[in-house]
Amino acid sequence: MPTNGIDVIEESGDKIKFSLRGFVNPTASNVIYYSNGERIIALSFAKTKTPKYEIIKKGETGKWDEVKVIAYTTKDNLEKS
């Protein structure tokens, strides 16, 4: 299964602040997808909390917006490429 790579911005203890690029379907703004129009989830957030993301390229004629999001996770189960 393909996945989006992350860029580690900061590490503190077992926490990591990272950025991820992907695509947002306007009808599901709490999910970042792997590619435009494909429902391969790269990152999802609770439906009660819409993430803040930067729009890199606005989708045109039914295409999804390309975005960059900053989020946090733990070091558990991360693999370096």
Per-residue pLDDT at 56 exceeds 70: yes
Q: What is the pTM of this model?
A: 0.83
The per-residue pLDDT for 10 is: 95
CA distance 38 to 23: 9
The per-residue pLDDT for 79 is: 72
User: Which pLDDT band, with edges at 50, 70 and 90, does 26 fall under?
Assistant: confident
Residue 12 corresponds to which tokens in the numbers above? 């503190």
Strand 6-12 and strand 65-74: the pairing is unpaired
Per-residue pLDDT at 77 exceeds 80: no
Tokens 């379907």 sit on residue? 25
What is the rounded average pLDDT of the residues 50-54? 87
